[in-house]
Structure 1
Amino acid sequence: MKVLLANLHKYVGYSGGIEHVLSRMASALKDRNYEVSVVMADEKEGFPFYPLPDGVELYNLFHMKGMKAIQVGTFDMIMREVTRAFSKEGARNRNYEILLKGKKALQKVLEETEPDVIVSFREPTGRLLLDCISTKIPVISMLHNDPDEIFLHSPKEEKSALKKSRYIQALMPSFIGKAEKYLDYDHFVYIPNAVNIPDLVADPGQDRDVHVITNVGRVTGRTKRQHLLVEAFSLIARDSPDWQVHIWGDTYDKAYVTALKSLIKKKGLTDRVFLKGTTKDMKGVWEGTDIFAFPSHHEGFPLALSEAMGVGIPAVGYKSCSSVNELIKSDVNGYLVEEGPEPFSKALAALMKDEELRRKLGKGARESMESFRPEVVWNSWDELLQKAAK
């Protein structure tokens, strides 16, 4: 079977969660003898941060062979950001107008790859496929976030297009009920992300000269909220001189990164809290981690959190955060707390002072990720692809 993975978004060197999932899916399907192609849309030319396996053809709509390169002008970008200040829905329509520049290129990709099924990774991608092009190829649309976050400011045309999907995949069972508030649709399917657990069993209770609280994710205030971790740690740092905070992730949100660095300096934590950037050596990160801290506002299915738990690291997150509040179970594999720095700091402090508690909850974390192992998840995708192609 031929499968096209469509993520019409910037992709070159981009280390987002969706791009990580796409890389894993391409590898898993290739291993199961699918013929896999990938299409994205990026002004840059180059390679993805998360590699694709040999034999997977990668198409960039903005740089197609035999076609003139598509440029996203400064005017387009300025108008999108001006629109965003007044209307998130309007900004999404502006983004879609930019994607429309790649319509002919996308048609060419479909002609060349002749997929039996298309897996769409973002809602604007589905809109282009199902509404603008009106493809007859079965499309499985993935929802990579809490539907309340996806659809609250979603254009009506986007929602209407998604209803033409053969199936819509949700990352949590609870997300199906949420999505049904926005879409009159009968073919939702629950499949979580696969948790690729490194060949490692962490020991978060071991004796170290320096203990580490780790956060992994894009460094951005709207979603990941690393500033709350800094504020929480500042409340307990003086009593725990052998502890540090390591924040890993893409720092493309320059305004937030600048504000975060200022906060770290203001709190006197420049030698205790470190922005580490991106890495492909996650095994090394987990080996040095004692607690995983995840103060996100909302999530779809957080890969970093699930991987940390999968190797046996206890986690702290907020009760209000979708997905996180279904993965973390207090006193079983970590702690869920109320909003704010102080509750977060108390949960961190409880784990920081008790190595046996970290070991106990770390063991619970590892056990709770068993149902998300790759073989379980990719078997579900295998079944869904076969059904969609019929």
Structure 2
Amino acid sequence: MKVLIIYAGMLMKSGGMQHICCEMANAFVAKGYETAIACGGGDLTSSFFPLDKRIKIYSLIADHPVNDMDKAVVGRKISAGDKIIREFIRTFSKRRFHEWNEKCKCRVVKPYLKKILHDFNPDVIVGYNADAVYYTVAAMDDIVPIIGTNHSELSRSFEEMGGPEIAALNRCAALQVLLPSQKDILEKHCPQVPCVVIPNVVSESKKISSLEQRTVLFVGRLTKAAKRPHLAVQAFEKAAVHHPEWKLEIWGDGHGAEHYVDEMKKDIASHHMEDRIFFKGTTTDIQSVYGKASILLCPSQHEGWGLAVTEAMSAGLPVVAFKSCAGVNELVEDGCSGFLTDDDISSMAGALEKLMESDDLRKEMGMNARHSMEKFSEEKVWSSWIHLIDKVVESSSNQRKA
């Protein structure tokens, strides 16, 4: 069995999508599948997360790898003329802007993807999000079954998604989502395509926190619109006034967000918190980070799946997040494994302070959090994936014979 995973991002970066993509490829190889990843460029000889050497890596945008992390992404290969048209369209329609942008990226990717499909000749394709499925459908000559996956917040995605992407999703042999609420949304737009809920793997943490350290964490990309670490800073500043022994560590990639990080640092300085709030960058050993902390703050506006949330919970950390955050509010049980608060700084700070004040509460919620992650074990998740792949390939083979 030959499985091709198509992901338009770069494996060099440290995001959740890259992590999940590498985990999936490693699991497929371990199950005996010949596996390849077609990604959006970058240094094809390395990835941020561990990747089995048996996995083949292809670039969607060049015959040779491009090592500049700013210039390797698919969107930067769009022609100057198409970019001018794109920016004009942006002024009057967000959906049309997105549709044109994806159409332009598809033109960039198509010739390389056609070659990849010919060279690797997969039995099944796993497309990461609607854009990868769209590019695949456009590039395919032969009928190869596609499993479309979702790793974003679907209600927002469909508000922007263009007709060609939705049409491509409807040509999939199956669709996979991470959470039950996402299945309900997807079935409204793709009612004829079988849809299954398969969550992400949450590996059992090898480093369980004692929850005695006075450390709060934020873990995620330093993006203002989605992850919103500035809200973690503000909530900590408010909660920590009467708890001078506590500190906040911010872990994540700030590449391209230097101005935003500078804004946060100015805010931190104005509250005289420079010796209590720290920007730590990225790490290849995030488990050790969780093992030395006691609380995770997740101020995200939305998530496809709160990867940092589940990682922290596996290490026994209670979580404080906003109850409106899709992709998190189905993972954290309010009052049991953490707190889901109203969408304001005071509410988040109040919940954070409750956990700061009580060792017993932290440990009770942390234990509940760790046990709640057991249902996302590697054995359960990868068994579901193997069953889905085998079923899709068998069905496709039967259709061809018929």
What TM-score results when the alignment is normalised by the length of structure 2? 0.90
Counterpart of 1:101?
108
Bigger shift: residues 252-261 or 24-33: 252-261
2:221 is aligned with 1:218: yes
Q: Secondary structure at the match of 1:234?
A: helix
Aligned 1:23-172 pairs, distance under 5 A: 23-42=22-41, 47-64=46-63, 72=77, 75=80, 80=86, 84=90, 86-89=92-95, 90-133=97-140, 135-172=142-179
Q: Quote how far apart the aligned CAs of 1:58 are.
A: 0.2
Q: Quote how far apart the aligned CAs of 1:150 are.
A: 1.4
Q: Secondary structure at the match of 1:235?
A: helix
Counterpart of 1:250?
253
Bigger shift: residues 134-143 or 170-179: 134-143
Q: Distance in 2 between matches of 1:7 and 1:310?
A: 27
Counterpart of 2:16?
17
The residue type equivalent to 1:158 in the other structure is: E
Q: Quote how far apart the aligned CAs of 1:281 are.
A: 1.0
Indicate conservation of the 8 Å contact 2:37/2:56, yes or no.
Answer: yes
2:309 is aligned with 1:299: no
The residue type equivalent to 2:162 in the other structure is: P
Counterpart of 2:4?
4
What value does the CA root-mean-square deviation take over the aligned residues? 2.2
Matched residue count: 383
Q: Secondary structure at the match of 1:362?
A: helix
The residue type equivalent to 1:33 in the other structure is: G
Which 5+ residue runs of structure 1 have no aligned equivalent? none
Q: Quote how far apart the aligned CAs of 1:293 are.
A: 0.7
Q: Secondary structure at the match of 1:29?
A: helix
Indicate conservation of the 8 Å contact 1:43/1:72, yes or no.
Answer: no
Q: Distance in 2 between matches of 1:327 and 1:373?
A: 14
Q: Quote how far apart the aligned CAs of 1:262 are.
A: 2.6
Aligned 1:229-248 pairs, distance under 5 A: 229-248=232-251
Counterpart of 1:182?
189
2:349 is aligned with 1:342: no
Q: Distance in 2 between matches of 1:277 and 1:78?
A: 35
1:300-349 deviations in Å (ceiling 9; x for gaps):
11111101101111111111011211111122111111101000000000
Bigger shift: residues 371-380 or 253-262: 253-262
Structure 2 vs 1, CA of residues 372 and 230 (structure 1 numbering), >3 Å: closer, same or farther? same
Q: Distance in 2 between matches of 1:179 and 1:269?
A: 44
The residue type equivalent to 1:139 in the other structure is: I
Indicate conservation of the 8 Å contact 1:117/1:137, yes or no.
Answer: yes
Indicate conservation of the 8 Å contact 1:2/1:115, yes or no.
Answer: yes
Counterpart of 2:400?
none
Q: Distance in 2 between matches of 1:172 and 1:164?
A: 22
2:336 is aligned with 1:332: yes
Structure 2 vs 1, CA of residues 81 and 376 (structure 1 numbering), >3 Å: closer, same or farther? farther
Identity %: 33
Match of 1:368 among 367, 372, 375: 372
Indicate conservation of the 8 Å contact 2:8/2:39, yes or no.
Answer: yes
Structure 2 vs 1, CA of residues 156 and 312 (structure 1 numbering), >3 Å: closer, same or farther? same
2:284 is aligned with 1:285: no
Indicate conservation of the 8 Å contact 1:83/1:91, yes or no.
Answer: no
Q: Secondary structure at the match of 1:236?
A: helix
Which 5+ residue runs of structure 2 have no aligned equivalent? 66-71, 395-402
Indicate conservation of the 8 Å contact 1:139/1:167, yes or no.
Answer: yes
Q: Distance in 2 between matches of 1:183 and 1:18?
A: 23
Q: Distance in 1 between matches of 2:184 and 2:297?
A: 28
Q: Distance in 1 between matches of 2:319 and 2:247?
A: 16
Structure 2 vs 1, CA of residues 17 and 92 (structure 1 numbering), >3 Å: closer, same or farther? farther
Structure 2 vs 1, CA of residues 31 and 46 (structure 1 numbering), >3 Å: closer, same or farther? closer
The residue type equivalent to 1:239 in the other structure is: H
Counterpart of 2:69?
none
The residue type equivalent to 1:110 in the other structure is: L
